[in-house]
Amino acid sequence: MHIKRFDDAQPYVAPNHFGCHGLRLQGFEAGGPTNQWIGFSQFLPQGGAGPDATPFEKVYVVLEGEMTVIIDGVETVLHRYDSCTIPAHEVRKLENRSNHTAKMLVVIPYPPEAKP
């Protein structure tokens, strides 16, 4: 078992994100997961990401607040404990349209060049 305390999580900067503070909860470390990493994203009001896509799928789980996910012009609001899977190469945009910080878990496989 590999335990990592929240107080030990290190920040990371996610490309094409704004008004967002990311912490790496698991991954990219000895003894951690071997096929994916887990991020904790905190989006300030009016913060977001994209539009962009990745060559691998992602899973988002909203823990607090709400996030609007926009794909092909279709807007879906995810609320507390809602989740979604974004397939590889699907262009998405994320927006926190509320006046509250939105907190979200992100599960992403390692890029081939970064596998531990």
**Residue 115 above 80 pLDDT?**
no
Query: pLDDT at position 52, please?
Result: 96
Phi and psi of 51, rounded to 5°? -75, 140
Domain ranges of the chain: 6-114
Percent of the chain whose pLDDT exceeds 90: 95
CB atoms within 10 A of CB 27: 21
In tens, the pLDDT along 14-50 reads 999 999 999 999 999 999 999 999 999 999 999 999 9
Cα separation of 26 and 107, whole Å?
Answer: 10
Cα 55 from Cα 32, distance rounded (Å): 22
Interval 1-11: pLDDT, tens? 999 999 999 99
Rounded Cα–Cα distance for residues 68 and 97 (Å): 7
Q: Are 58 and 39 in contact (CB under 8 A)?
A: no
Average pLDDT over residues 89-98: 98
The CATH number of 6-114 is which of 3.40.50.300, 3.60.20.30, 1.10.2020.10, 2.60.120.10?
Answer: 2.60.120.10
pTM: 0.93
Average pLDDT over residues 55-77: 97
Q: How far, in Å, are 2, 12, 62, 63, 65 from residue 17 at the CA level?
A: 29, 11, 16, 18, 18
The chain-wide mean pLDDT, for the chain, equals 96
